[in-house]
Amino acid sequence: MQDAPDQPQLYLITPTVLDPADFADTLARVLDSHDTACVQLALASRDEDVLSRAADTLRTVTDARDVALVISEHTLLAERLGLDGVHLNDAARSVRHARSVLGADAIVGCYCAGSRHDGMNAGEAGADYVSFGPMRPTALNDGETAEIELFQWWSEVIEVPCVAEGQLDIATISKLAPITDFFAIGDEIWGAEDPVAALSTLWAAAIG
């Protein structure tokens, strides 16, 4: 995962529930259609066997395309499986621990919702990137969203790359493209009949 690109890069988030073999085929088609910096394995399961099987299957796809694979939350499993890193969802609280476990070369990313303060703390703790979101309200969250102004400020003041994630649409991507480093896209495409076509429509707004 490269630092602060001149043009936004693509970051994919898997569904929370998936069949590894079936999804591997879909992921391969999507990765072959658009350059991708990173894939996050974001399963809801906490079963180590389920997570390990999915990680091993998807890593075959990502390694063949030189795409980083990180796992959501499970720092020790990331180390055990030899993945590229971990994505944390607890603001900055676990960043230092993850870094100490995984080492300097691993990717450690951190979701900070809409909090500038948490984002700064994560960066200071050693996060390689900070993600903010969702960009629009959802029925499942508390109504908090990441404002466009946060990304504008971050791009002007902070060197740590930032990721926009959650409820992304064409209009939001167009607004954020000049001021964010990565777009994390997942649910926006996986439920579509043709995820490649769905991604192409969204991604056209990011690259102009």
Q: Write down the pLDDT at residue 6.
A: 72
- pLDDT-above-90 percentage for the chain: 89
Say whether pLDDT at 5 is over 70. Answer: no
Tokens 């020790």 belong to residue: 76
Say whether pLDDT at 142 is over 90. Answer: no
Say whether pLDDT at 10 is over 70. Answer: yes
Which amino acid makes up residue 39?
A: V
- As a whole number of angstroms, the distance between CA 111 and CA 89 comes to 5
Q: Write down the pLDDT at residue 208.
A: 78
Number of H helices, E strands in the chain: 9, 8
- As a whole number of angstroms, the distance between CA 101 and CA 44 comes to 22
User: Among the CATH numbers 3.20.20.70, 3.40.190.10, 3.40.109.10, 3.40.50.150, which is that of 9-207?
Assistant: 3.20.20.70
Give tens-digit pLDDT for 21-45.
999 999 999 999 999 999 999 999 9
Give tens-digit pLDDT for 69-89.
999 999 999 999 999 999 999
* Res. 203 pLDDT band, cuts 50 70 90: very high
Beta bridge partners of 135: none
* Res. 4 pLDDT band, cuts 50 70 90: very low
| Least confident stretch, 28-32, 97-101, 143-147, 203-207 | 143-147
